[in-house]
Structures are given as structure tokens and as C-alpha cells.
Chain A
Amino acid sequence: MDRQMELLQGTLDMLILKAVSLGPLHGYGILLRIQEISDNHLQIQQGSLYPALYRLEHQGWISSEWGESENKRKAKYYRLSAAGKRRLQAEAKKWNRMADVIAGILRTTPEEV
């Protein structure tokens, strides 16, 4: 478990959008997918997932409908909306720029200053 990291503040929304961009998922599925695609590196508080989902839905970036889960249980599936798609692209761009900048800063050696 030592490979697991706490989620950086503000990144949960982006990860959810990314997870549902790969196909409609229910809440528990989103949790599993994020863990899966992060190679179990990311730990998401189960309780914090749903408020984030409701917030994203309220903002119109994802939409939901009831369906059946793999375990034959009723489950609410979320899918990315058009607005959500644009949002995800913008967030990803911002994140990549930020990551580059931070990485650049961290790469800095004493000679370069």
C-alpha cells in the first residue's frame, strides 16, 4: 500500500471527468477505474466521490441515468456531456502546463540560476 498516494487537491473533478470520458460508469465503477488506470497509485476517499459527482452533474458536465451494474444491481450511470468534454480538455491542458512548469522548476540546477 506504500505506493498509494493521496489525491492532490482539486484534481478529483478532472479524474472523474476523465474516467467517464472512457465510457459511462456508476459511482463505484468510477472509483475502480481511477484505481485501475492509476495502477492503484491513487487513493480516493469513497465518501468524497459522491459530493463531487453531484457537483459535476449540477454544473452540467456529466449526466446520469439509472441502469444495471455488472453485479445485477440497480446503479446510476454517469456519462460525459459535451460541455464536460470541453471542460476536460481545458483542465487537461491546464494540468499539463502546470506539470511542465513545476517539473521545469524542480529540474533546475544551481548552475542554471
Chain B
Amino acid sequence: MSLRSRLRSWTRTLLRRSHAESDMDNELHSHIENYADDLTRTGIPREEALRRARAEFGGIERVKEECRESRGISFTESALQDLRFAFRMLRKSPGFTAVAVLTLALGIGANTAIFSAVNAILFESLPYPHPERVMAIPEVNRDGSRAKTSFGMYRELATRNRSFDALSLFASWQPTVTANGEPQRLEGQRVSWSYFRALGVSPFLGRDFQASDDVLDGPNVVILGYALWQKRFGGDPSIIGNQIKIGETSGTVYSSNDMFTVIGVAPRSFENVLSPSAELWAPLQIDISQHWAWGHWLDMIGRLRPGTTVNQATQELTALGAQVIQTQHPPTYGKEVRYSVISLQDEVTRGVRSALLAVLSAVMLVLLIACVNVTNLLLARGSQRRGEFAMRAALGAGPARLTRQLLTESLLLALIGGVLGLIAAQFGVQAIVALSPPDLPRLSAIQIDRNVFLFALGITTVIGILIGLIPAFRASRNNNSNNLKEVSRQTVGSQRVTRHVLVVAEVAFALVLLVSAGLLLRSLERLFAVPPGFDASRVLSMQIDEVGHRYDPDPVRYRFWVDALDAVKRVPGVESAAFTNALPLSGDGFLDQYGVNFEIDHNPDKADDAMRYAVTPGYFQTMKIPLKRGRFLNEGDRAGAPAVALISESFAKRKFGSTDPLGQRVHIGSPDFWFTVVGVVGNVKQMSLALSEPDAVYTTVNQWQWIETSMSLVVRAHGNAAALAPDIRKAIWSVDKDLPISRVETMDDLIAASAAERQFTLILFEAFGIVALALAAVGIYGVLSGSVTERTREIGIRLALGASPRSILSLIILRGMKLTALGVVIGLAGALAAGQAIASQLFGISPLDVATYSAVTLLLAGIAAIACWIPAQRAARVDPMVALRYE
């Protein structure tokens, strides 16, 4: 039905309804008047005749109600009537309405916002054709951990498999693009030619990669992202076929020609879930002859052939892998290789699934607490309206009609709350996107769409019925007593049980949520208490990229780094400064894992993985990384001098135990150079505070095989580090004004960002925890004070019979605390389950952490005690006479 015809039918119903009503009214009045006419004719005065006619006719409203019922009153009609009445009732008590609506709006809004994220990230399928066939394909180690795959293996699998329409490799790429004379460092990907085919995406303009693009020394071609094309190239379609300047920063792997031909533009709708910030793509162009062809540094995806199952594909790849190992004996593989074929959807959401579901559960708890509060408000109002219900019953409203009326009221409350909640959710969604950790996938898909709207509508309806059921049930039962007298004494018993259940539920829900929030908070505290291995305070960092081989050959480039460092050191306020190729906790370092081979192993094929740092000599002093043995690197360790290296403490201990590592010789990556270990330095967290620090080797920039093209500057300031940023940037630009400087951040901020996902979960949990605490406090107080008010008469009797105010006080507090205790017990059981569910979000703390549990229990017990004490205090001061007269 179209909107217009729907409106028309609705108005018709409305018109017919008012028509029928006025008909009925006219008919009944005409009856009375006809009768009065007859009476008048017998000599009775008109006034008296009318009065008598009305009296004999009986209650006209009751007759009307019965007529409506016999006429088979339409559902819409009575619903509209209920609705109008409900509106009037809500308007009549604006305070109650405001509190109830706001409470529900808070709950519904928070739930809708969180659901919009959960829906986009976990439930919606990826924005590709047949998303269920797009798979991530990592290698799986013997211990179940995952590894990246190699080009050598990919080459064999891609040509021999029959399970996939397309297999593709990809690696991250940070090129510097120069357009209109302005260099900018961008995120991109190096991919196999079949990358877009595997995802099922065709270019918006130009052509896709083809096999001939993806060969060693093949053409320099690039596909641009839609946004980049718009932003940097003005959305000009003639860009296709033109050359743009793209500087490499990784320098070592890819070709050295920096002019790329633009062959295509990705569609605007293309969402690259594998690297959301990537804006341009170029072919990998690796060849099996290169020595990194068998290195584990690439990720693989594939598009399953229709009809092929995940199991078949897994078995085929694993079998093919075994054949490759048998025939080619790659040095980087053991006796076997196993592949895992996982839907890309699961792969992309793997890291955030548990956190998101935990947040969703938390926000649902908030909603439950909100519902308990509103139910309690409705109950209290139900007691006040008992007289009204009795009146309506006497006037002919049946129990079903009363129940429907009350449900209409609660649904209306929920609906108003839901509308406000949806508005609040709009802001909530913005807040979530703003707060979200950088690795949260599918951020752009988070919005209030049809599914989210239906979700909000669904929970609103459920809430409306849920909060209305108990009060409605009660009111329709009161109806049986069928008199206008206040009937409170008869109902106090069951009312009390309901209230008790509400208190217990409230305490239990709040406890579960607060324990979870507490555990997360303590985890984050523990995490930030982990020493990163360096002193982050007053240290500023920024990344500098040397564009487009301007400084080839190496000595010229080295000169540039030295000049830049000298310029920075001259900036007032700088205590010390240094360069490093990989900055701890910045996300750097995936490409800087090297095989390190010690001379004492007497086996050139046996290598330990270690993080390789190329640093300028002042690095350790600037970062305050402690020296454990030997000496730091110094200015004497330059090209031509004997090559030296430092190793990290963990590496030294693992490799040499208590013996002295100084003087040992190592190969780092290449077997062509020996480095001599001259010192041992403290361990540094590289990837994350939560992970154990990697073994590390340090060389000077100048003694490494090449001079780095991209380095991070670290500066220790005398005072505020962040304030130095503009001056330092100016100093570097005084050496070369065309260099892109990116990622300007203090080390403190980097550490905080490295825990961003935990922090995200924590912020949401804390927010919900605080809301839950406030709601629960208000709710517990409301329920308890309500039950004390109801028992005023009983208290009066007790006082009249000689009970001391003191004993009344303890009686009431004791009852309240008993309920609280029951709630705590149930809540503890729930919290144990919740703790297990969020275990993966915890760090350095048991899900059974006693301190958290006791603190939360005490907090809630304290709040409950105050909530009991205030009404108890009031009750104890009650004048027995007043209390007895109360009813």
C-alpha cells in the first residue's frame, strides 16, 4: 500500500469512527427526549420529565460503552481512544513522564548506537559480490599460531589449485605521492594482479591489473582510490594513462623508477576492508629469483569457486603446500605447511568481535536496569491510580480493556523514549566513530540504517510491553475487588513481592556491569604500568620520508640525515635527538623482522628472528634505554669502521645465558657481513605493551647495508615536548623544504594509542557502568522508599504497640539489605560468567579478581544502605496516629 492510500484509509476510519460516535450520541438522546415528550404530555413539567427520563435510562456512558462493544468496535478505534487517553494521562503527570521517557531514551539510544556498530561490523556482509566466497588464507604453524605466507608458495598454489577463482597476495605500502609539486605520504597496498578480482571489484575508470603487470621489472602502474583521485587529481578522467611521481619509502624491495602510469580508478563504493586507509595500489612484481621470494611477509586472500567448500579448499592447499616443500625444499619452511581458509568477514572482525559483543551485552544490561526503574515508577503510579481504575471498572471497563489501556500507556512511554533514543543514537554513532580504535573495521558502514531502525523499533515494543505487563496485571486484578474503596491493604502483599524482585534484579544487573567495567579498568591500569623499556615522558616523535631518491646515492642521503639531526638539536628546548628506522609502539616494525645468525651456532641456516633497528648513536640516551653491558653505539661506529651491534637483554639471556655475549659475531639478514656485539641494552616493547618484547639488534644507520629512506625522529625536550613540534618541523625544512613529515606525536600518545582497542572497550564500559550505577542507585532508592511508604500503616501500628524508632530503623534497613544481599549473590554468579566472556579483553588480571569483586560489592551495598536508610529514617519518625489515619 502506498503512503497516500494508507493515509486515506486511516482518515476514513477516523471519520467513520467519529460519525458512529455522534450517531450513537444522537440516538440515545433522541430516545431520552422522546420519552420526556411522552412524560410531558401526561402533565409533568419539561424539566422534571427530562430528569426522570435520564434517570430511568441509566448511565448513558455505560450504555455507550456496551453499545460500542456490541457493535464490534474496531481495534484501531479503541486503540486510538486508548492512545488519546494515554496522552492525557502522561501530560497530567509531566514529572513522571519526563523521568520515565528520559530513562528509556537513554537505554534505547545507547543500545541503538552500539547495535549500529555491531550490525555494521559483525552482522552485515562485506560489500563485495558473493562475500561468502571471499576468504583469508593464512599459514598455520604447528602450535596453531598464524604466519604470513611467501611469494614462492603463492606462485605454486595460484597456478595449481582448483578451488579458487582467484588467489592474491597483498602487503602494505607507504609511498609518497607528488602531485602539483606537493609531496604527501600515503597509505597504499602492493598486491598481486588478481587482487581486485579476488574481491570481485572492477575499476570505476580505466582497467584492472593484468598478469603482465605483475612481473619483475614490469611496468610501473598504479590504480588510484576514488577519494584520492578526487582530492589530489580533481576527479579528472584524463588522468588515465598519465604518469605521476610516486616515491618509494621502503627502498629495498621495489623498483627504483619513480614515475607510475595511472591505469585505473577504484569505484567510489569500494571499501577495502583489508586496509581501510589504503588509497592506491600497485602490483607486487616479485620474482622467484629474488632472495625474499620465500620470506613469510605476505598476506593471502582468495575467492572460492562456486560449489567448493572451505574444507575442500583447505585440504587442497595443504596438500599442494606439502608437494612444494617436497620438491623445492624452501629454506623458510619446515617439514610441512598447513593452510587455514577463513571467511574474510570472520577474519576482519576476529580482533574486535569479543569486545563488541561484550559492549553490546553491557549496554543491554543498562537497558534492563532502565526498564526495572520505569516498571517501578509505573507500579508506584498504579498504586496512586487505584481509585481511577476502580472508577473505570465501575463505569463498565472490563479487565481486558483496562489491561489494554495500561499497555497502551506503557507502549506510548516506550515509543516517546524510542524516538528520543533514536535521536540520541545519532550522536552516539558519531561518538563511537570518533572514539573507535584505528583497527576497527568497516567504520564507514556504521550508521542508522533500516536494520538498526527495526532493531530500535523492536526493543521499543518489547520494552513497552515488558514495563507495562506487571502494572497492567496488577490493575486488572484489583478490578476484581470491584469497589471504589481504596484497596491497598489487599494488594500490599503481592505488590511487595514484585518490588522485592525489582530490587534484587536491579542490584544483580548493576553488579554484573560494574564488575566487568572494574575488571577492564584494572586491566588498563596494569597495561599502562607495564614498562615500555624506555622513558616516554617529554619525548616527541615524527616520521620523515626522503622523497623520490633525491639523495641517492647513500652517502648523500646519510649526509641529509646528519644535517637534519644537527638542525633539530639546535632548536631551543631540545635536550637530545636521534633517528631510528622503527619507532616502538607506533605500528612500525612488521617489515623489520630479520633472521639473525650467530657465529657460535656454526650453522648458517639456523636463524633467530629479531627486530632490527638502525639508529643514530644518541638514540639510547634520548629514549633512556638502559645499558646492561658493554658500551652504547657512538659516532665512531661509522661506515668503514668495524661493524658493531647491540643486542637486547632478552636476546642475550636466551642465546648466551650467563656467558658474556660481548665480542660475539652475527649475521643480520644478509650472510655477507659480520657485526660484532659490543653491548647489551634493555628490552623495548615494539608492537604492543601487551605482547612480550621481541629480541632486538641495533646497528648504527651508517653501518647498515643501506641508508634508510624513512626514519622516525625522537626528540627529548626540556619541557613540553608537543610544543616543540612546529620549531622542529621548521628546522628539518630548513635543510630540505620538500620533505613530508608525518605522524607527529608524543611517545605518551603513542603508548595510549597502542592500547586503543582496550581503551575503547573501557570507555564504553565505564560510561555504561556509571549510567548503570546512577540508575541502580535511583532505582533501589525508589523501590525501597516506595515500599516503606506503603507500609506506613504497619509501621504506625508497630510504633503504637511500643516499638522503638530505633528498632523500626533496623527492621527496615535489615529488610532492604537482605534483598540487596540476594541481588549481590545472583549478580556475582552473573559477573563470573561475564568475566569469562571478556577474558580476552583483560590483561594481567584474573577474571576472578577478588579486589574488583569486593570493591563493587561494597559500593553497591553502600548505595543500597543509603537508599534504605533515608526512607527508614523517615519511617521511624512517623507519628503513629498519622500513620493509622493514613488510609
Contact = CB atoms under 8 A, between A and B. Distances in A.
Q: Do A and B bind each other?
A: yes
A47 B34 contact: no
Interface string B56-76: 111100110011111110000
B34 A73 contact: yes
B12 interface: no
Interface stretch (B22-30, B191-199, B377-385): B22-30
Nearest to B40: A71
A50 B27 contact: yes
A52 interface: yes
B31 interface: yes
B297 interface: no
Given A47-B59, A51-B63, A74 B26 contact: yes
A45 interface: yes
A51 B70 contact: yes
Contact of B35 (A28, A51, A52, A55): A28
Given A58-B72, A71-B34, A46 B57 contact: yes
Contact of A51 (B31, B37, B56, B67): B67
B566 interface: no
A54 B21 CA distance: 12
B563 interface: no
Given A51-B67, A71-B37, A28 B31 contact: yes
Interface string A11-54: 00000000000000011100000000000000001110011111
Contacts of A53: 67
Chain A contact-residue range equals 20 to 34
B25 to A, nearest CB: 11
A46 B70 contact: no
B30 A69 contact: yes
A76 B23 CA distance: 9
B28 A50 contact: yes
B427 to A, nearest CB: 51
Interface in B22-53: 23-24, 26-28, 30-31, 33-35, 37
B326 to A, nearest CB: 87
B58 to A, nearest CB: 4
A57 interface: yes
B34 A28 contact: yes
Contacts of A26: 27, 30-31, 34
A55 B73 CA distance: 11
Which of B23, B27, B71 lies at the interface centre, i.e. has the most chain A CB atoms within 10 A of its CB? B27
Which of A47, A52, A58, A73 lies at the interface centre, i.e. has the most chain B CB atoms within 10 A of its CB? A47
Interface string B825-864: 0000000000000000000000000000000000000000
Contacts of B68: 54
B37 A54 contact: no
Contacts of B72: 58
Interface in B54-104: 56-59, 62-63, 66-72
Contacts of B31: 26-28, 46, 50
A53 B24 CA distance: 11
Contacts of A27: 27, 31
A9 B270 CA distance: 76
B23 A47 contact: no
Given A73-B37, A76-B23, A50 B67 contact: yes
B63 A47 contact: yes
Which of A28, A52, A54, A58 lies at the interface centre, i.e. has the most chain B CB atoms within 10 A of its CB? A54
Contact of B30 (A51, A52, A57, A73): A73
B49 to A, nearest CB: 12
Contact of B71 (A58, A71, A75): A58
A53 to B, nearest CB: 8
Which of A26, A45, A55, A71 lies at the interface centre, i.e. has the most chain B CB atoms within 10 A of its CB? A71
Contact of A69 (B34, B62, B63): B34
A93 to B, nearest CB: 25
A52 B69 CA distance: 10
B27 A76 contact: yes
Nearest to A76: B27
Contacts of B30: 26, 28, 69, 73-76
Contact of A54 (B26, B34, B59, B71): B71
Contacts of B24: 50, 54
A90 to B, nearest CB: 20
B70 A58 contact: yes
A73 B33 contact: yes
Contact of B58 (A45, A58, A69): A45
B69 A51 contact: yes
A42 B104 CA distance: 58
B58 A55 contact: no
Which of B24, B31, B62, B69 lies at the interface centre, i.e. has the most chain A CB atoms within 10 A of its CB? B31
B485 to A, nearest CB: 25
A41 B30 CA distance: 25
A47 B62 CA distance: 9
Contacts of A54: 24, 67-68, 70-71
Nearest to A71: B37
A46 B26 contact: no
A58 B24 CA distance: 14
Contacts of B58: 45-47
A76 B68 CA distance: 17
Contacts of B62: 47
Contacts of B26: 74, 76
A76 B31 CA distance: 9
A13 to B, nearest CB: 11
A41 B69 CA distance: 30
B34 A55 contact: no
B295 to A, nearest CB: 85
B71 to A, nearest CB: 4
Given A28-B31, A51-B67, A69-B34, 14 more contacts: A26-B27, A46-B31, A46-B58, A50-B24, A50-B27, A50-B67, A52-B70, A53-B67, A54-B24, A54-B71, A58-B72, A74-B26, A75-B30, A76-B23
Closest 3 CB pairs of A and B: A55-B70, A47-B58, A51-B66
Interface of A: 26-28, 45-47, 50-55, 57-58, 69, 71, 73-76
13 contacts: A26-B34, A27-B27, A28-B30, A28-B34, A50-B27, A50-B66, A53-B67, A54-B71, A57-B71, A69-B30, A73-B30, A73-B34, A76-B27
Interface of B: 23-24, 26-28, 30-31, 33-35, 37, 56-59, 62-63, 66-72
